[in-house]
Structure 1
Amino acid sequence: DQCASPPVETHACNIARIHEDEERHFQLEPSAKTFCDKLLTDPRFQACRAVIDVMPYYEACKWDYCSCPLSGNTNRKQCACESIAVFVKACNQIGNKAAVKTWRDDDTCPMTCSGGRVYHPCAPHTQETCRSVSTAVTLASTHICEEGCYCPIGTVLHDQRCVEREQCPCQLRSRWFQPGQKVPKGCNTCTCVNGQWSCTQVNCGARCGAIGDPHYQTFDGKRFNFMGKCSYYLMKGDNYSIEAENVACAGAISEAMNFPAQSSSEFPSCTKAITIRLGEHIIRLKQGREVLVNGQEVSKLPFTAAGAYIHPISSIFLMVELPNGLEVWWDGVTRVYIDAPAKFRDNTKGLCGTFNLNQKDDFLTPENDVEQDVVAFANKWKTKEVCSNVKEKEVSTHPCDVNPHNRATAEKHCAKLKGDLFESCHWNVDPEPFYDDCLYDLCSCQLDIGQCLCPIFSAYAKECSHENILINWRNDIRECGVHCPGNQVYQICGNSCTRTCFDISYNPNCKKQCVEGCNCPTGQTIDSVSGECIPVGQCPCQLNGIEYPAGYKDIRAGNKGLELCTCHGALWECRPATPKESEEFPKSGGMKAMCSATRNEEFTTCEPVEPITCKNMHNPPEFSPAICKPGCKCKKRYVLDSNTNKCILPPECPCHHGGRSYAEGESMAEDCNTCKCTQGKWNCTNRECAGICTAWGDSHYKTFDDRIYDFQGNCDYVLVKGSISKEEVFDISLQNIPCGSTGVTCSKSVTLRVGSPDKQEVITFTKDKPVPSHTSLNRTIIREAGLFVYAEVHDLGLVLQWDKGTRVYVRVDPKWKNRLKGLCGNYNDDQMDDFQTPSGGLSEVSAKLFGDSWRLQAYCPDSLEITDTCLNHPNRKLWAVKMCGVLKTAVFQPCHSEVPVHPYLESCECLCTAIAAYAQECNIHGIPIKWRSQQLCPIQCDEKCAYYSPCVQTCPKETCDNYMVNTKFNQLCSEDACVEGCEVKPCPPGQVYQNLTSLECVPISVCKPICLQREDKVYYEGDIVEQDDCHTCTCSHQSVICLGAPCTPVPSTEMSTEVPTYPVSVPSTVTISSTYVITEGRSYATPTSTAATTVVPIHVQPYECVSGWTNWINTNAVKNGANFDLEPLPSTLTILNAGSRPVCNVSEMADIRCRVVNTHEHYKKLGEDVECSIMGGGLKCKDGCHDYEISILCKCHMKCDDRHQFFPNVYDCNKFYHCEETPLGPEVVEKSCPPQMLYNPVKQVCDHSVNVVSIVPECQVQPVCDPRLSEQSTSI
């Protein structure tokens, strides 16, 4: 077979000749030539033609002209202009000073601009827009420019037109709002100003809720599930409490349920009743909205007791208004809400959290510690110590996994929350948590499905109505229909203040709230006597507990005299009265033995229902003999430790945290603070801790304020940016790319920019690429530890941590609070406003809208909706659940109480990444977990000298290269959490690693640490920086120290030009003293002489290295007690002048000795501040010194001779030298023995190591580590 000939492409102008008549062709080709000849002849292009071959562009121009498709407003000149524009752009990019700047005119390729933009021949290639004003990352200045249409200076682009910055709109929930427009934010109002939301700062009230099985939401918006079956404090104050009694249920409360005790733990729990305690008064709200006050049933509502007003506000909800301003809503089934006014901020405790806009401390316990685990937190808020604590194993399994046959039905019903019915509310209230709660309740439901389904739907609709979005949903959810009695009507948003005549009369200043349920039609209300709807105008009024009919009038004292008051619509209408109107108008047997004296117990015929315990001893419960049974109680002065069930003295009460007990005086860490147990209470330090933001796996994020969300964006995004001053500014951007067949995205690279554009440092870490060079960075320190690379900016308090894959951690100093933006949130402790876009002020509800707003490139596509990847690969789900289930096993159990496992289970698409992310969170909380194995995400370490560790300290190992500055590194990394990776075995005492690349232990005495780096040249400690026969400059402790001054070369016609000639001072009588001088960054010791000197030239002969100790040398004689003495490493000339036969240059100096002149005492015996080392550049003494002298040990390099063909390498027993013939003559070549063999200096051959070690014991093999490691990960 033969290959087909390549196609012959006919020029576009010639094609015209074939397909068109001759006359048409001859008109087209000359026209193309005439127009395109501008490239060859126009003087505006002359400078470009000198540097670029114009002919390819000329031919392209003609081609475009002839082949231009004529349609619409397009003409042939416009097509040909593209080639001219490309030619000009290529010329400008070369940087020619005569490059074309203005070449377009009315005749040559004019450019028409719209939307207020104007043509610029050379402008920055990025156009500032209303979005980029707040989202663009600060970039270093660039000279790259492009021609085009741009907005005039002082304006920015928005919607394809130029506007003043003040005219920029603000974005919220996928809509644009014009400047000056206002939107509500709770009780505050936000106004659009210069493209940013500016909000009022009024403190608002908040709501806490318990719904369904039950699902809790604190005042600060933190959500959690807890299945305890006891009574728990929702709120607890000094003189009040609100308690929820939870019982076992099957998705909803049913009076017919009667679970056996042994099986109740298998069921979830629901709220059965609410108890409100006000001083000595008790209000109990039961099923069916039944009310008890101090044990007595209240048959008629409204009712007042102890200053509390109890009244129904619709057919669904009952409200209790407490005298302290709290409002309790109860639906008589499983839903309870508590509304707290702003005055309760920072003054709440219980399951409802702390109400301080900081979700991190919502799990504050009565012991004053903050638990991380829901179970440990909620167990501490039991109102009855006799209840058993919930065990983690009881709540770890999702009902849909236990009852998989219910899942399909649950998903079908719950999907309506995310469907069209509630679509109008999705941008304002995120349906996802309600959907999750719905699945939980329906999968565990064993009753009529409506009883489990409707409370969740109703809860979501209630949140929507709070955002002024009213959804008539019950007509579409057949199971949740409502039948209203009498002439009442169903209302989505009824008035909570006008349910009955009594409500209107009791609280005329009532604040209206939206309430769902059956109420009277507008203008009517329920008559308190008949229970029927009547016009509001017919309602009676109340006065001093007496009811007066509508229209009743009386005279009463007012502020300015007598007033006539008339009852109208349940309210009194008063006005000044005229004079005329003023004239008109248990068994105890056998139980004693159960009480143990050794346990400090005693028998009682009336065991208290609630004993005095370590937890309640500071506020002991009241004793009531109403319910008595015989039993044991603690002896006098003793209290019960409910965890151990022992009676102990109050000072012995332990503290509890994370599921374990702490004795008196023991401490535990809580973030960066330390808490000490004092009489059963935690006393904690109050340090402000650093914030940590995390991105891991397929686009999972955790903000500085601990909000966890998913975002599938395929673009570059601002992860975090902040600015305090011109110098204190940084930003970190993340590049996300698709990383699987299901559309998920993962981070590919992360870029850190530090400083203002004129002094900016930039480094980018990219997956599957080596760590880039960072020698040019000054403020940013790069280091590696375990699996991670760190970029740390100490003066900013900033640490970027990257695992060379898809995990990124950012740690910032608390000084950045309220100064950050981006996908990591705003770092103000309140996760509810983390979804702020670049417009600021208001938060998005949707993670998708929030994430898209931080795109760096406007051309990127919108992010994808989050989907369950297991739905696309159902065959993998069982495997994924099984493998990810390791997070719930005993391996990670020590961490469960500190780090909730659920978010990481839900984000387990990338198996090893998700588990590693959870493990690192455990490290951050001080609980390292050794979880990897050969079967699960193994890591291979060099077994000879390293081992896998779940907790590798991040401070760099001490090496020869860094041991002089290692303390500095320790200061920078001391606050890092440890990381997992390969831990290198420690060196023997007195040794350190050579460097971090090849981890070989060497004695500290032979270290040659890095001293200075100048212009890419590295000087080690003791290196000669410059030298001649008159001076020597050595590097020491990051500075250059010089002795003498540079020689001035003297030309000589009598000497051979091959050998240099130097002037040498030869005094007749010389007494030398030295002065320490700093000159141009160098330290010089300059000799001064008392005698005249004569300068004569001498001939410097080449020297031959001779091994051995040199004679003693004293180049800088000083008097005893001098401020300093300096004896630098001598030059070869100095050694020769000392009359020494051993001689060498600095590179051949192996050791040094230092002693006092005359007495010959060792320098260490005198206790003076003396450094004596080769790497230190010789001897240095300061602050009171004797006169010292030095001697050098020369070790010469091997040279070939006829007698020796082989030489041992004295530093490496595996290597040896061999003299070989080369084109330049005999030369010494270094060679290595095979593995497991060493060089035998006696036999002069490679021999087995055991034979060599018997001759040369120093050759005992020491392990040399390969610090590289590999991670084998599995992902789905």
Structure 2
Amino acid sequence: MGQKKDLGNYRPVSLTLLPGKDVEEIYKITTTPARRDLLRITCVKGRLNCIGEANETPVCKSPMVYFDCKNNTAGTSGAECQKSCQTLDMQCYSSQCTSGCVCPDGLVLDGNGGCIPEEECPCIHNEAMYQPGEKINFDCNTCVCKNRKWECTKDQCLGTCAIYGDGHYNTFDDKRFSFNGNCEYTLVQDHCGKSSTVNGTFRVVTENIPCGNTGTTCSKSIKVFLESYELILGEERVSVVKRGQNDKVPYTVRSMGMYLVVETKSGLILMWDKKTSIFIKLSPSFKGQVCGLCGNYDGNSINDFTTRSQSVVENVLEFGNSWKVSSTCPDASSVKDPCSANPYRKSWSEKQCSIINSNVFSACHSQVEPAKYYQACVTDACACDTGGDCDCFCTAVAAYAQACSEVGVCIAWRSPTICPLFCDYYNQQGECEWHYKPCGASCMKTCKNPSGKCLNDLPGLEGCYPNCPPDKPYFHEDQMKCVSLCDCYDDEDGKIYKRDECNICECTSEGLQCKFDDKACNCIYEENSYKYGELIYNTTDGTGWCFSATCDVNGTISRNIFKCGIFTTTPFTFSTSQPTTTASGMHE
């Protein structure tokens, strides 16, 4: 007989039992599945006793199995070295074998109490887990989770330089600094030092204007020099100054929500929020070929403080002052901390800017470090002490939201009480085309871009966007509404014609620019020229049907088929053996 054992910690039950009788009911209630083997429970002198030895082996949740160190050779590692998806690449150093539940060979812990094959383990990015097959966007590349690792495309991405608010800069190589000066400064240009071309192809200049009593400045006027054109961005619009005889326009201008976007075929993109934020993007072909306050774009932030004379310095004032456009401007000096100068604004600024550190932006915190954006926000909100304080605060928060959008995290942070955008203002009575979008469409059909094709696929920019219905597919930037037909359209030969007029027109930032052109009003048929409205031919098939053709707008040919005798025009026969050619070179 085995040793008698008291039930000890078994939970009590309230039953009346007779001595010497087997207690099957109590056996079922008081014992665990792990202890039911080899037990016999009896009632002796008013006490419950069990006869036999209990099986102490725990029961593991399937598919896990119990590993018993006693049944394995010395030096074998046990449950303490169980691999998981998080520790697959780590070595285990065991001082003592620990018995316990483990995954079968070939499986590892999934972190949720289950076992899975190694190849089904998730990938980790910024502390977030992604299952096999899931995709993320990293800069301009797409990454797929496979075998616990990210497999990414290797496209060359555009570099970005950001300038916003109270002189805050983030260079192409991700060096952050603040610089204030009341002058014009070169942000970026592609003619630098001895290795540069004579004049370069572009230059971007910003003019800093004071926006407070503490000496702080905000970038509010931008000039872009492209070949024989000068674009001036200021007062929420773009004006163009043309110098030279080059008729080929090297840029396009379009609206994206709050932003005006200037794109060039050479690989320069400028995004301006019409206030104090500027984002400059450059093609990888410019790497190491540029200079200015945005740095040299060579992938190394250490040498970003390169002066106009091509010397690398550590002092931000020396670096910034070297990029003055005019030597007559005074040098910038260090600016007193705005919150120290305006202590009554500090608590308000910190409270308002705390939205950057709040749950509103929680999805972005692991992607873009919020601390420096928060500090810049507090500084700017303290500095704007002559009005426009909400603009300074909103611009600083929007800069962080844009940085989040750049890494694929879209945050709808605005509300009726925090930096609202009143998109409903643009809706006509009874219509609901306009809506706020935190990351709007990067390219859409507009009257200035009727094809809906853009040079670059940019990250979504926030602002008010129209949802144009199918019967009004084009957005008219000047009228701020959706239209069925634009004032002008882009023909396949690259020219833009105004409808119903004998002019060749260009859609420019200053509106429609037109000039009279004979070809726009003439039709070419079998090498003969016909004026707008002139009859080209009128013939019959001999069975009572007549055919006529008339020169129509923009060099198109309008044909008619009718029953002979209805029109009074004297019929004549004209050969139609050769293809019809319009003024744009398209065959009819």
Q: State the TM-score, normalized to the length of structure 2.
A: 0.70
How far apart, CA to CA, are the structure 2 residues paired with 1:997 and 1:797? 26
Corresponding residue to 1:926 among 398, 405, 408: 408
In structure 2, relative to structure 1, the CA distance for the partners of 1:895 and 1:1043 (3 Å cut) is same
Output aligned runs, 1:1168-1247, within 5 Å. 1181-1182=587-588
In structure 2, relative to structure 1, the CA distance for the partners of 1:693 and 1:797 (3 Å cut) is same
How far apart, CA to CA, are the structure 1 residues paired with 2:518 and 2:366? 49
Structure 2: gaps spanning 5 or more residues: 1-54, 70-76, 381-391, 505-514, 542-546, 565-578
How far apart, CA to CA, are the structure 1 residues paired with 2:102 and 2:323? 63
- Which structure features the higher share of helix residues? 1
Corresponding residue to 1:788 among 259, 269, 272: 259
How far apart, CA to CA, are the structure 2 residues paired with 1:835 and 1:880? 30
* Per-residue deviation, residues 64-121 of structure 1 (Å, max 9, x unmatched): xxxxxxxxxxxxxxxxxxxxxxxxxxxxxxxxxxxxxxxxxxxxxxxxxxxxxxxxxx
How far apart, CA to CA, are the structure 2 residues paired with 1:804 and 1:871? 29
Instruction: State the match for 2:291 in structure 1.
Output: 821
How far apart, CA to CA, are the structure 2 residues paired with 1:807 and 1:725? 30
SS at match of 1:891: helix
Instruction: State the match for 2:522 in structure 1.
Output: 1042
Of the two structures, which has the highest relative contact order with CA contacts closer than 8 Å and spacing of 6 or more? 2
Is structure 2 residue 193 aligned with structure 1 residue 691? no
Q: Which amino acid aligns with 1:691?
A: G
Instruction: State the match for 2:327 in structure 1.
Output: 858
How far apart, CA to CA, are the structure 2 residues paired with 1:1001 and 1:1153? 32
In structure 2, relative to structure 1, the CA distance for the partners of 1:1008 and 1:638 (3 Å cut) is same
Corresponding residue to 2:85 among 608, 611, 614: 614
Instruction: State the match for 1:754 in structure 2.
Output: 226
How far apart, CA to CA, are the structure 1 residues paired with 2:158 and 2:523? 49
Instruction: State the match for 1:992 in structure 2.
Output: 473
Instruction: State the match for 1:905 in structure 2.
Output: 374
In structure 2, relative to structure 1, the CA distance for the partners of 1:695 and 1:1001 (3 Å cut) is closer
In structure 2, relative to structure 1, the CA distance for the partners of 1:1025 and 1:611 (3 Å cut) is same
In structure 2, relative to structure 1, the CA distance for the partners of 1:610 and 1:751 (3 Å cut) is farther
Contact 2:360 2:413 in 1 (8 A): yes
How far apart, CA to CA, are the structure 2 residues paired with 1:827 and 1:1038? 49
Output aligned runs, 1:55-74, within 5 Å. none
Output aligned runs, 1:316-465, within 5 Å. none
Question: Offset of 1:635 from its aligned partner?
Answer: 1.5
How far apart, CA to CA, are the structure 2 residues paired with 1:592 and 1:881? 56
Question: Offset of 1:627 from its aligned partner?
Answer: 2.8
Contact 2:536 2:548 in 1 (8 A): no
SS at match of 2:473: strand
SS at match of 2:404: helix
* Per-residue deviation, residues 984-1027 of structure 1 (Å, max 9, x unmatched): 1221x2432372222454445xx663469xxxx9851342359x
* Per-residue deviation, residues 427-466 of structure 1 (Å, max 9, x unmatched): xxxxxxxxxxxxxxxxxxxxxxxxxxxxxxxxxxxxxxxx
Is structure 2 residue 451 aligned with structure 1 residue 971? no
* Per-residue deviation, residues 1049-1096 of structure 1 (Å, max 9, x unmatched): xxxxxxxxxxxxxxxxxxxxxxxxx5236xxxxxx369xxxxxxxxxx
Question: Offset of 1:953 from its aligned partner?
Answer: 2.0
How far apart, CA to CA, are the structure 2 residues paired with 1:742 and 1:933? 30
How far apart, CA to CA, are the structure 2 residues paired with 1:855 and 1:894? 39
Corresponding residue to 1:730 among 179, 202, 208: 202
Contact 1:786 1:954 in 2 (8 A): no
Q: Which amino acid aligns with 1:1076?
A: E
How far apart, CA to CA, are the structure 2 residues paired with 1:1126 and 1:844? 78
Contact 1:952 1:978 in 2 (8 A): yes
Contact 1:788 1:804 in 2 (8 A): yes
Contact 2:550 2:559 in 1 (8 A): no
In structure 2, relative to structure 1, the CA distance for the partners of 1:638 and 1:781 (3 Å cut) is same
Output aligned runs, 1:673-692, within 5 Å. 673-692=141-160
Contact 1:693 1:809 in 2 (8 A): yes
How far apart, CA to CA, are the structure 1 residues paired with 2:172 and 2:482? 41
Corresponding residue to 1:896 among 348, 365, 378: 365
How far apart, CA to CA, are the structure 2 residues paired with 1:731 and 1:1177? 38
Cα RMSD of the aligned pairs, angstroms, is 3.9
Instruction: State the match for 1:837 in structure 2.
Output: 307
Contact 1:785 1:952 in 2 (8 A): yes
Which of the pair has more CA radius of gyration? 1
How far apart, CA to CA, are the structure 2 residues paired with 1:658 and 1:1127? 68
How far apart, CA to CA, are the structure 2 residues paired with 1:782 and 1:930? 26
How far apart, CA to CA, are the structure 1 residues paired with 2:229 and 2:414? 37
How far apart, CA to CA, are the structure 2 residues paired with 1:601 and 1:1171? 83
Corresponding residue to 2:98 among 629, 651, 658: 629
In structure 2, relative to structure 1, the CA distance for the partners of 1:826 and 1:1179 (3 Å cut) is closer
SS at match of 1:1115: strand
Q: Which amino acid aligns with 1:837?
A: T
In structure 2, relative to structure 1, the CA distance for the partners of 1:1003 and 1:879 (3 Å cut) is closer
SS at match of 2:143: strand
How far apart, CA to CA, are the structure 2 residues paired with 1:774 and 1:931? 38
Is structure 2 residue 408 aligned with structure 1 residue 937? no
In structure 2, relative to structure 1, the CA distance for the partners of 1:932 and 1:687 (3 Å cut) is same
In structure 2, relative to structure 1, the CA distance for the partners of 1:962 and 1:591 (3 Å cut) is same
SS at match of 1:938: coil
Instruction: State the match for 2:527 in structure 1.
Output: 1076
Question: Offset of 1:661 from its aligned partner?
Answer: 2.0
SS at match of 2:144: strand
In structure 2, relative to structure 1, the CA distance for the partners of 1:785 and 1:596 (3 Å cut) is same
Percent sequence identity is: 32
Question: Offset of 1:1038 from its aligned partner?
Answer: 12
Instruction: State the match for 1:30 in structure 2.
Output: none
Question: Offset of 1:631 from its aligned partner?
Answer: 2.9
In structure 2, relative to structure 1, the CA distance for the partners of 1:1003 and 1:854 (3 Å cut) is closer
Is structure 2 residue 183 aligned with structure 1 residue 719? no
Is structure 2 residue 357 aligned with structure 1 residue 877? no
SS at match of 1:682: strand
Structure 1: gaps spanning 5 or more residues: 1-588, 1027-1034, 1045-1073, 1078-1083, 1087-1109, 1120-1124, 1131-1145, 1159-1169, 1183-1276
Contact 2:230 2:241 in 1 (8 A): no
How far apart, CA to CA, are the structure 2 residues paired with 1:718 and 1:1002? 40
In structure 2, relative to structure 1, the CA distance for the partners of 1:741 and 1:946 (3 Å cut) is same
Corresponding residue to 2:488 among 1005, 1009, 1012: 1009
How far apart, CA to CA, are the structure 1 residues paired with 2:348 and 2:275? 23
* Per-residue deviation, residues 795-825 of structure 1 (Å, max 9, x unmatched): x100111111110111000000000111100
In structure 2, relative to structure 1, the CA distance for the partners of 1:1114 and 1:859 (3 Å cut) is closer
Output aligned runs, 1:789-804, within 5 Å. 789-794=260-265, 796-804=266-274
How far apart, CA to CA, are the structure 2 residues paired with 1:1171 and 1:668? 52
Contact 1:899 1:922 in 2 (8 A): yes
Contact 1:1011 1:1039 in 2 (8 A): no
Contact 2:549 2:560 in 1 (8 A): no
SS at match of 1:717: strand
In structure 2, relative to structure 1, the CA distance for the partners of 1:659 and 1:601 (3 Å cut) is farther
SS at match of 1:822: coil
Output aligned runs, 1:167-316, within 5 Å. none
Contact 1:1126 1:1180 in 2 (8 A): no
SS at match of 1:1040: helix
Q: State the TM-score, normalized to the length of structure 1.
A: 0.34
* Per-residue deviation, residues 772-815 of structure 1 (Å, max 9, x unmatched): 25788711212221111122111x10011111111011100000
In structure 2, relative to structure 1, the CA distance for the partners of 1:708 and 1:1128 (3 Å cut) is farther
Question: Offset of 1:875 from its aligned partner?
Answer: 2.2
